[in-house]
Structure 1
Amino acid sequence: MGNICARLKAKPAPPHSTSAKKRSASRRERKLDDAAIREQAIAAAILFKQHQQQQQNFDRSTSLRYPNGVSKKSSGSSNTLPRSSSSRARSLTDPLLQPHQLLNQDVKVDDLETNRIVLVHGGGFGAWCWYKSIALLEESGYKVAAIDLTGSGVSSFDTNSITSLSQYVKPLTDFLEKLPEGEKVILVGHDFGGACISYAMEMFPLKISKAVFIAAAMLTNGQSTLDIISQQAGSDDLMQQSQIFIYANGNDLPPTSFDLNKSLLKDLLFNQSPSKDVALASVSMRSVPFAPVLEKLSLSDLKYGSVRRFYIQTLEDNAIPISLQENMINANPPEKVFRLKGADHSPFFSKPQALHKLLVEISRIL
């Protein structure tokens, strides 16, 4: 796989007047501290993996849990597509909403058009990254599914063997295809997951009530994720500096995937996130398949355009800067735009409560 990340050099112990025995003990303590952090992160990842494998009713690459006492919402099938949303978005400047500020509070979760939310991770992430959002949403009465896309999370598929977007998003499209007739979900996509949910919106518009893009690639017809990324290309672009391309088919052929340099990972993705979540990500993230990033999407007004779209901006984002998010919003306006202050590229870590409140509010918009 080549050099996946730059190795961090251990800092030498500063000279002082203590004995060699005390210096040796100090070094041992630091090593034990580092080992403890790694063990905690790995243990968290293993527990999450074990929980996913216990689910019996859905595809093995899907983590789905139901809260006790939540009844299944019945919904009649519709012969017409949902209304199209083409007006320019309205921006909320204060996303840190208090419970009394949320819309339609008197509407019970079971009475919504759908109380099912499907979370789709970004490139390199997996279903594990949503663990805070899953818990918060379930406590609020929602049914939540977090998808591991092909070659991500607990999926055993080799990332370097993924050759198309349809192959990459197959766990998501399989999930939607198995939904009962007339049942809908709210799709939530982060980062490259935006392109993935866009692909699903074109395939299953009648099964998607709303689509939420969180610091995500929101493409127009005929556009690829690489086209979006290229808009911010520059010598000082942290994303470009972080990418380590992998050529599994040989150096004379296009890259098959890319990793992110772990020495730059915190600054790129987690500059506002807790250190424990950064540790979890550092042992859980996987390579990003390159072919799906190159693929141009075919999106129609009749299908993709009929699904109500919402965008959540992350204002402290170093991976997809706010200027790039604005470009996507202006080129392809959603119904409404929300702004998360103090959120880095991973708001499910850095601002989980504020993100949760926005997802709840979006679910209640009539």
Structure 2
Amino acid sequence: MVIPSGNRQREDLGGIAINGSSSGRRRGGAHHPGARRVPRRVCWYKVAALLRAAGHRVDAPDLGAAGQRGLGVGGAPASSFADHARPLLDAVRALPDGERAVLVGHSFGGMSVALAAETFPDKVAAAVFVAAFLPDCANPPSHPIDTYQESDWMDTVIDPSHAPPSILFGPEFLKKKLYQLSSPEDYTLAKSLVRASSLYVDELRRRAAFREDRYGAVRKVYVVVENDMAIVQEHQRWMVANAEVAEVRVMDAGDHMAMLSAPEELAGHLADVANTYI
């Protein structure tokens, strides 16, 4: 999510972009799950509207394998994690000299935010993880995914014939694990727009741990979503305990797709974070 603001510094919130007042605001982006790609503009439309009403400009760039960007033959995921994350990296790289951003990542989007913070630590005022995978600086970036245990993938389709292997959440998994508290309309829309993606685990295992003086030096805020049935609260809190986090916020409403099921609460948290870390 991107939030530029006149004489204030710009913030970027990883998948939706918030941009402050008409004289210049903050921007950012917010990402959602890596295994089911629905265009970010669809996922974040409620939060974006609330932030715009509060005077922010909001943008929601799509990562590789979301929307129409980065799709291979048959809707295959982007060929690498680097390609998947490139739209966010390009957006942060393009920030004018002297401006920084608050990056917001949701679910697998936390990995893209972490990579952006590692690559451009001087351009990131803070990184926000909303029920997101949160890597540390002691293990390969795959660590929060390797330690994640989903006991029942239900009708999810995992296809190892793709390189990297693709994963596509099925309608029942979407309904019972991701959208159980969301409106029928939001669930129906998501089901019609879902795309395959990947968790890029093999590639992330081969990467070196993020550096303490780069990603580790960026201030991090974690938003725990207590009713998340996908990345459950216990795993969220384990990741927080395993990494250095400046602030933990808790949402007691909403499901995994908190931006759809509890938009007012999430927008309030993001506005507070923006005001704190500019």
| TM-score range normalised by the length of the shorter chain | 0.7 to 0.9
Alignment partner for residue 158 of structure 2, among 245, 251, 265? 245
Does the CA-based 8 Å contact 1:224-1:293 persist in structure 2?
no
8 A contact 1:120–1:187 mirrored in 2:
no
Q: Structure 1 counterpart of 2:264, which letter? A: Q
Structure 2 residue 206 is matched with structure 1 residue 206:
no
Matched, 1:164 2:80: yes
1:272 to 178, 181, 191: 181
- Preserved CA contact (<8 Å) 2:167 2:196: yes
Secondary structure at the residue paired with 2:191?
helix
1:147 CA displacement: 1.6
2:9, 2:219 → 1: CA distance? 19
C-alpha separation in 2, matches of 1:174 and 1:364? 24
SS of the residue corresponding to residue 55 of structure 2 reads coil
Q: For the residues of structure 1 that align with 2:229 and 2:9, how far apart are their CA atoms?
A: 44
Residues 9-30 of structure 1 show CA distances to partners (whole Å, capped at 9, x for unaligned) of: xxxxxxxxxxxxxxxxxxxxxx
Indicate the residue corresponding to 2:113 in structure 1. Answer: 197
Structure 2 Cα separation of the partners of residues 173 and 122 of structure 1: 18
2:35 matched to 1:73?
no
Task: Tell me what 1:220 maps to.
Answer: 136
**Distance in 1 separating the partners of 2:241 and 2:169:** 29
With the length of structure 1 as denominator, give the TM-score of the two structures: 0.65
Matched residues in 1 for 2:225 and 2:53: separation? 24
Which amino acid in 2 is paired with 1:130?
W
Q: CA deviation at 1:231?
A: 2.9
TM-aligned CA deviation for residue 114 of structure 1:
6.6
In structure 2, the residue corresponding to 1:264 is in which secondary structure?
Answer: helix
- Amino acid aligned to 1:211: A
Paired positions, count: 258
Distance 1:273 1:267 in 2: 10
Does 1:338 pair with 2:249? yes
Residue 354 of structure 1: which of 237, 256, 265 is its match? 265
2:204 pairs with 1:303? no
| Structure 1 Cα separation of the partners of residues 9 and 101 of structure 2 | 14
After TM superposition, the structure 1 = structure 2 runs for residues 1-366 of structure 1, keeping only pairs within 5 Å, are 72-74=5-7, 115-123=26-34, 124-125=36-37, 126-127=39-40, 128-155=42-69, 157-158=71-72, 160=76, 162-221=78-137, 222-225=139-142, 227-233=143-149, 237-238=151-152, 240-249=153-162, 256-291=165-200, 294-296=203-205, 297=207, 298-365=209-276
CA positional deviation for 1:155: 1.6
* Change in CA separation of 1:204 and 1:160 when aligned onto 2, cut-off 3 Å: same
Structure 1 residues 216-225 or 337-346, which shifts more?
216-225
Please list every run of at least 4 consecutive aligned residues from structure 1 whose deviation after the TM superposition is greater than 4 angstroms. none
The structure with the largest alpha-carbon Rg is 1
Tell me if the contact between 2:102 and 2:124 (Cα under 8 Å) persists in the aligned partners. Answer: yes
Structure scoring higher RCO (CA < 8 A, sep ≥ 6) equals 1
Partner letter of residue 183 of structure 1? E
Deviation at 1:174, TM superposition (A): 1.0
Over the matched positions of the two proteins, sequence identity in percent amounts to 27
| C-alpha distance after superposition, 1:327-364 (max 9, x if no partner) | 10000031111110122101001100000111111111
User: 1-side partners of 2:257 and 2:27: how far apart?
Assistant: 22
User: Are the aligned partners of 2:70 and 2:84 in contact in 1 as well (CA < 8 Å)?
Assistant: no
Shift, 1:241, TM fit: 3.4
1:149 CA displacement: 0.5
Residues 175 and 282 of structure 1, relative CA distance in 2, 3 Å threshold: same
Gaps (5+ residues) in structure 1?
1-62, 78-108
User: How far has the Cα of 1:188 moved from its partner?
Assistant: 0.6
- Is contact 1:114-1:209 (8 Å) kept? no
Task: Tell whether the 8 Å contact from 1:312 to 1:338 is kept in structure 2 after alignment.
Answer: yes
Which amino acid is the alignment partner of residue 28 of structure 2? I
Query: For each residue in 1:223-274, what CA deviation from the matched residue of structure 2 results, as whole angstroms up to 9, or x when unmatched?
Result: 344x42443436xx13x3343112445xxxx762111121221101011111
* Superposition TM-score, scaled by structure 2 size: 0.84
Please identify, of 282-291 and 270-279, the stretch whose mean Cα deviation from structure 2 is larger: 282-291
SS of the residue 1:312 aligns to: strand
Counterparts of 2:164 and 2:83, CA distance in 1: 17
| CA 1:216–1:335: 2 relative to 1, 3 Å | same
Aligned partners of 2:31 and 2:107 also within 8 Å: no
**Quick check: 2:158–2:168 contact (8 Å CA) kept in 1?**
yes
Tell me, what secondary structure is at the counterpart of 1:310?
strand
Q: Structure 2: which amino acid aligns with 1:259? A: L
Call closer, same or farther: CA 1:363–1:75 in 2, change over 3 Å: closer
